[in-house]
Structure 1
Amino acid sequence: MGAGQEATADSVGEVGAASPPTQRVVKVLELLSRHPTDRLSLARIVREAGLSRATAHAVLTQLTADGWTVRDDDGCYGIGLRLLTVARRAEAAFPLRRTAAPHLRALFERTGDPVFLAERDGDSIVVTEVVGNPSAGWIRTGRRLPLAPPVCREFVAWAPEPARQAWLATADPVHRDRLALVLAEIRARGYSVERLVDDSTPMLEVLAGLRDSPITAALRAQLGSVITELITIDYLPDELGPENAVVTLAAPVRDAGGAVVAAVVSCPDTRLSAAALSELGSATVAAADRISAL
């Protein structure tokens, strides 16, 4: 690959980014943090972070000089003490993830499906712990999602009626009646199910990435409408068949007052029978209840 081609490769995925140099640093740190006990070669970092060799080398040289990363005698890189120190301090902002982690691992070992913890932070949801390797690219620690229809239903289903109505009022009018029925069904069975129209996952991920980029409010609203059209919102009882597409299944974690503060999310991303879906739902709810009791 020539120098011109390398520069082009660096720019892929950074169109509209507020600070491409910062994004490159974040890519490298995120990659290394996913392999905390490993040492990654420069070639692997170049490949998996999508950077040119020259850019990756420059980023790593500075990070290593500042103690964020370390470089061994073979020229491979890992996370440094400074990054570990910051990570430990940051954990204080999300104490639930520490107490939830063993229960997430137990659920993963029982079902074989990747699982993550999503915590509420104001009007957003933050992914704070991931166990396994979810197939959806958006599922990663630190990912933030708006608490907006039609997603994050498990955070709203048990809310007081005025809060549910306020949430429904922000939904596409076409979907409000269905969402109201779905919220009632989630309360009855104890968990939400995310399913997608066949073959829409790649398009949905691209659209979601664009929506999260620095764009105008009008364009973000239009993208939200397109995303909504790709989503078949949950399952109602009479819609379950011999095989049911299940991307994620989420059960609520409550605080001492009963408010939903987080969710345990299983990620089968496959087709399940009604019985298998119910079994996974029961296991996920049980894990969420154990975390709630801590």
Structure 2
Amino acid sequence: MSRPSDGAREPITKAIDLITALISHGGKPVGVRELAAQTDMAPSTVHRLLAVLERRCLVERDDTGRYGIGLELFRWSSRLAGLFNLRETALPWVRGLAHETNETALLGVYNATTQLMMYTASVESSHPLRYVLELEKWRPVYAGASGLAIMAFLPADQQQAIIDRTGLLPVTDRTVTDPEALHRELAKIRRRGYALTSGQNIPGAVGLAAPIFDGRGVVVGDVCLTIPEQRYDATAHEDLTNHLIDCVRDISHSLGAPVKPGVWPPSPVPDADAPA
């Protein structure tokens, strides 16, 4: 299939074509005219788009005026590779947790650039009454156990940035939208090492989630059990929590986190404490 003409393509499509062309050269710097011929665009169009991408550090120009992949694009690729590695590492333990509890277990991953999370894996309960959540969809971290278990272990300045950026817009009528109340809840989660919410993210669902840490001791995601309120049994809370913490401790240990046997959560990230 032939490539659409220069004028027929949207600017975002042209930019993607340019980045794809740069990647195809394996990191070797490429000139504007060569890129124009490869992407079937006018040199003036290529030059204009490269200037925009360079300002965003997605491409960079060397002393000869040729272009290569920028550090920001490299950072994106490294971050995404880390997320996929986390999924592959964590999935066996997530399956084990779902089997032990017979509740739906979800693996959440956090993206520090967007300050959002997504579910990348779900292992469902065998109960006929259960929740099935959409995977690979960006979600806020201030609403529901699955987000709060991550947000609670972020440094205070990052927590505040999330509050300022989002305004804590409600996801449901139970979402905590008062910053002071949210700070108190985050402090409670840090102390006990897990989050427990009801209906904050999904109406009628109880969420029980605990964080995952990487080799730097930085929170990179979490595991969440989601249970319909009608079926949630408070007397089973301790058993569910123990299974959940065992799961995230094992995952974190496999990622090289400084996790000590019988200790949860690990030592907090410096400056993690926010106002209570």
TM-score normalized by the length of structure 1: 0.48
2:22 is matched with none
**One-letter code aligned to 1:157:** A
**Superposition pairs of residues 79-118 of structure 1, within 5 angstroms:** 94-118=84-108
What does residue 171 of structure 1 align with?
Answer: 168
Task: State which structure, 1 or 2, has the greater radius of gyration over its C-alpha atoms.
Answer: 2
Q: Match for 1:176: what amino acid?
A: P
Q: Secondary structure at the match of 2:118?
A: strand
TM-score normalised according to structure 2 size: 0.51
Distance 2:123 2:81 in 1: 17
- Correspondences of 1:36-185 after superposition (within 5 Å): 94-121=84-111, 122=113, 123-132=115-124, 135-137=130-132, 139-147=133-141, 149-151=142-144, 152-169=147-164, 170-171=167-168, 175-185=178-188
- Measured in 2, the distance between the counterparts of 1:187 and 1:108 equals 24
- Structure 1 residues 150 and 290, CA gap change in structure 2 (3 angstroms): same
- Aligned mates of 2:195, 2:226 — CA distance in 1: 12
Q: Residue 198 of structure 2 aligns with which residue?
A: 195
SS at match of 1:128: strand
Q: Distance in 1 between matches of 2:159 and 2:81?
A: 31
Q: For residues 143 and 162 of structure 1, what CA distance do their matches in structure 2 show?
A: 25
User: Structure 1 counterpart of 2:140, which letter?
Assistant: P
Structure 1 distance, partners of 2:148, 2:83, is 24
CA distance in 2 between partners of 1:259 and 1:92 (Å): 13
- The separation in 1 between residues aligned to 2:82 and 2:211, in whole angstroms, is 22
| Aligned-residue RMSD, C-alpha | 2.8
Distance 1:279 1:290 in 2: 17
**Larger proportion of helix:** 1
Per-residue Cα deviation, 1:134-160 (whole angstroms, up to 9, x for no partner): 8334x133222134x334111111122
Structure-1 residue corresponding to 2:39: none
Gaps of 5+ in 1: 1-89, 205-244
Question: Residues 11-47 of structure 1, C-alpha deviation per residue, up to 9 Å, x if partnerless?
Answer: xxxxxxxxxxxxxxxxxxxxxxxxxxxxxxxxxxxxx
Q: Distance in 2 between matches of 1:157 and 1:92?
A: 21
CA displacement 1:108-139 (0-9 Å, x = unmatched): 111000101011123221211111158334x1
2:97–2:244 Cα contact (<8 Å) kept: yes
Q: 1:263 & 1:92 partners in 2: Cα distance?
A: 14
Give the partner amino acid of 1:163.
Answer: Q
In the alignment of these two chains, the number of paired residues is 159
Match of 1:248 in 2: 207
Q: Is the 8 A contact 2:194 2:208 kept in 1?
A: yes
Check the 8 A contact 1:150/1:179 in 2, yes or no: no
Distance, in Å, in 2 between the alignment partners of 1:157 and 1:118 is 14
Alpha carbons of 1:91 and 1:269: their partners in 2 closer, same or farther (altered >3 Å)?
Answer: farther
* Secondary structure of 2:87 counterpart: helix
Q: Go from structure 1 to structure 2 and tell me whether the alpha carbon gap of 1:196 and 1:126 turns closer, same or farther (over 3 Å shift).
A: closer
Q: CA deviation at 1:246?
A: 5.4
* 1:266 partner amino acid: L
Q: Secondary structure at the match of 2:159?
A: helix
**Cα distance, 1:92–1:178 mapped onto 2, change above 3 Å:** closer
Q: Which structure 2 segments of 5+ residues have no match?
A: 1-79, 170-175, 255-276
Secondary structure of the equivalent of 1:290?
helix
Distance 1:293 1:276, change over 3 A: same
Cα separation, partners in 2 of 1:93 and 1:192, compared to 1, 3 Å:
closer
| Identical residues among aligned pairs (%) | 26
Change (3 A) 1:144 1:135: farther
Q: Which amino acid aligns with 1:136?
A: Y
Q: Is residue 263 from structure 1 mapped to residue 222 from structure 2 by the alignment?
A: yes
